Amino acid sequence: MSFRIQSIRDGVYELADAAGTVRAEVWPNAGFNCLRWQMRLADGKWGDILYTSPDWETNPVPTRSGHPILFPFPGRLRDGRLEANGKTYQLPLNDATHRHAIHGFTPRNPWRVGATHTEADHASIEGLFSLPRDLPSAAALWPSESTLSVTYSLFGDRLVVDARVTNEGNEPLPFGLGYHPYFRLPGVTDPDVGDHILQANTAKLWDVDADKVPTGKLLEIPEAIDFRRPRAIGAAALDHVFTRDGGAEVAALSHPGSPRRLRIVADAAFQDLVLFTPPHRQAVAIEPYTCSADAAHIANSGWRTLSPGEAWQGRVEYVA
């Protein structure tokens, strides 16, 4: 098996094996989103593992398809306000309520392509995002200067995501990182994900207020949204932030009609997990976070701070 990378249109990159059994599409101009990850089915057709909205080409909502990258904070930041290094930073109030900031800067803006690499067993592409260089209009909205490097590596049976955050400024850099991928198993034609079997290695549930911003309190997980033992998603309406149980495997997704089983594996730094069923229910989002939503305002939330010149790195693997 050998792999290749090519630009297929308007800066969209395709990673694929030469035999035509697996491929992925990465869109640097759309938040460096890995919009598609597909495997060849027994009937010769392509089967999607990452869900992409059918109207993506005409209505590319950044956080509703593929594998959105959320940085320098995932989820909501209460009142869009951050206190850091003796200063107050006010971000745009861009969540659905228009009372809070959500998902940082990276999913909605273009990235630069860094290195590309091919080997016999995989192909990789790196994306780079820095506020001063890539979104200078927002550079004053976050403490210190940083570069986020994310590398997608496509193998025959998995998609690996490596991230590196570097503080390139003169002040401490607070941050959190999250991924917002939407999944369904290839070849499954069900109208919704109700029959998909979900298992999630969660420990506690973050309590939230009416705007879905965490209050800082941890709760026991109610039975209706408890997927610590594998079971069908059914009619469960998921939009919840959990802490993980500490194991390497984050979650698993299967279906009686598919031979594939998706496993999500992550470094311990990805200590939280969001489970979300979008209104169309054609996919389930299984989202590894390094911190809770609104982590900047919550103790023991996973919120990190890098000193000037310091770097952090972490890995998530999706194995199918």
SS3 category, 249: strand
CA–CA distance, 218 with 78 (Å, rounded to integer): 17
Average pLDDT, the chain: 97
pLDDT in tens, 249-284: 999 999 998 999 999 999 999 999 999 999 999 999
pLDDT in tens, 286-313: 999 999 999 999 999 999 999 999 999 9
Residue 98 has pLDDT above 90, yes or no: yes
Q: How confident is the model at residue 21, as a pLDDT?
A: 97
Place of tokens 């904070």: 73
- Cβ–Cβ < 8 Å for 189, 43: no
Residue 10 has pLDDT above 90, yes or no: no
Closest CA to 130 of 114, 158, 108, 149: 149
SS3 category, 54: coil
Which structural domain, as residue segments, surrounds residue 63?
3-319
Q: How confident is the model at residue 22, as a pLDDT?
A: 98
Q: How many domains does the chain have?
A: 1
pLDDT in tens, 210-254: 999 999 999 999 999 999 999 999 999 999 999 999 889 999 999
Q: How confident is the model at residue 121, as a pLDDT?
A: 97
Q: How confident is the model at residue 1, as a pLDDT?
A: 74
**Number of residues in the chain:** 320
- Cβ–Cβ < 8 Å for 257, 188: yes
Q: What is the pTM of this model?
A: 0.98
- Cβ–Cβ < 8 Å for 284, 239: no
Q: What is the mean pLDDT of residues 59-83?
A: 97
CA–CA distance, 40 with 53 (Å, rounded to integer): 20
Indicate which CATH number applies to the domain containing 204.
Answer: 2.70.98.10
